[in-house]
Chains A and B, each alone.
Chain A
Amino acid sequence: MAPATVDAFMAPATPLSADNSDVNATPHASRSSSVSSPPYQAVDYSQKIDVNPRKGTRDFPPEDMRLRNWLFQNFREVSQLFGFEEVDYPILESEALYIRKGGEEIRDQIYCFEDRGNRRVALRPELTPSLARLVMQKGQSLSYPIKWYAIGQCWRYENMTRGRRREHYQWNMDIIGVPDVTGEAELISSIVTFFKRIGITAKDVGIKISSRKVLQEVMSLYSVPETSFTKACIIIDKMGKITIEELKKELKSIELSNDAIENLLQVLSIKSFTELEEKLGGTGEAINELKQLFSLAEKFGYSEWIQFDASVVRGLAYYTGIVFEGFDREGKLRAVCGGGRYDRLFSTFGGDDLPACGFGFGDAVIIELLKERRLLPEVPLEIENIVCSLDPDLKGAAARVASVLRGKGRCVDLVLENKPLKWVFKRAARINARRLILVGSAEWEKGMVVVKILSSGEQYQVNVDELE
């Protein structure tokens, strides 16, 4: 009788059946004729394979994974507190989704390639276009406003000389269908809530807020080519990363006059509403929205976290209104998070425009910040119970004990091999076990096990069915 087919765990077996059906052949013949070469060839990985993850990517061994899960769990809980629903999209998207000619850094670094069907695809550099695509796909079936969040991995192709990451995880929250600044106010509130939740205070970070409409109003005073607005925003975002001369040069290259450039740079240095009002007059949309937002912030209770800063524009082409960014007050780190309003994204995708605002919050800077402030949480491995048989014959019994406990929802590390007690104790310490449960022949005969409380050393016998 032939043995049963494929093992539940293993990859689909190679088609051996043809070879093994020749049961009448002698062993020698069977080896040489029916099995031409062993189906499983032990490849020497250590020589051929680089054991490190690819440049710019990360492995997540247990400790790192626990930290990541802690972070993501906080992302999730805050999103849920605000009544947002979780979504996700494929990591691989059509490259077309990201084609924008604004000169954004993100565009230069798209990790794209041609798949075997000769389609241009990309590992997503951000989540917002996927969101737009899904919203458009769902069409009429959605009820507004939409409040969705996602935590997804995003990729970029970086030249490795800068030693930067090629992947990171990003928490996104987006509100679609709310045209007022109440949307932005809510989003900023969620960011503040998240910070507070993980022990960060208004002394550690702040959120700079401005509006692209400020620049829009300034540039309206000069005759500026149509394409220049978006490009100007992207160039201005580089302020601080390139010299003023270079900045001016780039602005000139998109056909801004010297006057326009001077005026822009002056406005960008404004840090108060009064100054801004002097510059633009008090009646423009930009100023009104900003004032509204700040007034709402007071009601939400996070005024001490935010400040107006006209230099904030953010580096994505599609923002149209309020923009904001979280920053480290000590000035050592890059932006912690960033977002804004993007009311015109959907029409660029061929759909009807929908008011939209959202933010992205990466997993890298926040962890660096927590390290700096010594706020990184302890997330040790903790497995409550360790079960072990004192006798090789009692392995099955130990398995039964483990099953009973797991059936009651208790975590169990079952010792799978014959190991000395000294080893078991060491392991128990490593996994921070609370209890050690021993299955010994004398007790097992009576249907009992020995439970040892590791902190106190106290131990007692209990019937296996009464184990809690």
Chain B
Amino acid sequence: MSMKPLVLVDPVQSLRRCIRPSITHNVNPPKGTRDFPPEEMCLRNWLFQNFREVFIQYTNFYFPTWHCLYDVEYYVSQLFGFEEVDYPVLESEALYLRKVGEEIRDQLCCFEDRGNCRVALRPELTPSLARYRCLKTIPMFFSVQKICAPPDKMGKAELTSSIVTFFKRIGITTKDVGFKISIRKLYFEDNVPTDLKSTISQAKQHHLMQNLWYGDLKW
């Protein structure tokens, strides 16, 4: 059959009717978020590649961090024999509700989804790690932000070392950055007189520094 066309259907008009024409599309990304055009993407990939090579075997690249640019604490080294993991960007809001006066709590990007569940875009990764760890009993699950198995000085020293390695790798020196170290636990030891706390922490610090001898680590 070959009929002469009556009116050529115009997909443009059809599309325009379907897509609401009154929207003035804002070409900028939502407030506080970033686009990554080619140049920025190159830089990000370079940074993440260095993270990857120095830090955990592989870690999730594509998550929006709601606080710092690239939270260094969330990565540990491939060189250091860590394994990369990832978790959903969307988690239950309950995961982040702690009775602490933290900045994170106030800035939680949370909402109620269509199933009336309280969810949140993750502001940090640790709670996901904790949740995951409860799910599976994996011995020696070294990962992301914290080393799960040994909560001792070696663990922390290892982490510091990996960060130092990362800095050196991307050309940052001790003149540019340093580490301030303290021990949180100390503040909650009830049976320690307050005036002793400062001296004890000094001693503990010294001990910690001793263990931080990783070649020329004078950070």
Contact = CB atoms under 8 A, between A and B. Distances in A.
Contacts of A117: 31
A141 to B, nearest CB: 9
Chain B contact-residue range equals 35 or more
B5 A220 contact: yes
A22 interface: yes
Contacts of A81: none
Contacts of B7: 220, 223
Interface in A391-419: 395-396, 399-400, 402-404, 406-407, 409-414, 416-417
Chain A contact-residue range equals 35 or more
Contacts of B5: 217, 220-221
B90 interface: yes
Given A87-B36, A229-B9, A411-B78, A403 B188 contact: no
Interface in A106-135: 111, 113-117, 119, 121, 123, 130, 133-134
Nearest to A215: B9
A9 B92 contact: no
Nearest to A114: B111
7 contacts: A7-B184, A9-B156, A50-B131, A59-B86, A87-B41, A226-B10, A417-B154
Interface of A: 1-16, 20, 22-27, 30-31, 38-41, 43, 45-46, 48-54, 57-62, 65-66, 68-69, 85-94, 96-97, 99-102, 111, 113-117, 119, 121, 123, 130, 133-134, 136-138, 148, 151-153, 155, 157, 160, 167, 212, 216-217, 219-224, 226-231, 263, 279-281, 317-318, 320, 344, 347-350, 381, 383, 386, 395-396, 399-400, 402-404, 406-407, 409-414, 416-417, 427, 431
Contacts, number: 356
A407 B216 CA distance: 12
Contacts of B117: 54
Interface in B56-97: 57-58, 60, 62, 64, 73, 77-81, 83-92, 94-95
A94 B41 contact: no
A241 to B, nearest CB: 21
For the complex of A and B, list the 4 residue pairs with the smallest distance between their C-beta atoms, beginning with the closest: A413-B81, A90-B33, A60-B86, A57-B88
Interface in B177-203: 179-184, 186-188, 190-195, 197-198, 201-202
Given A9-B146, A27-B192, A317-B15, A220 B6 contact: yes
A413 B80 contact: yes
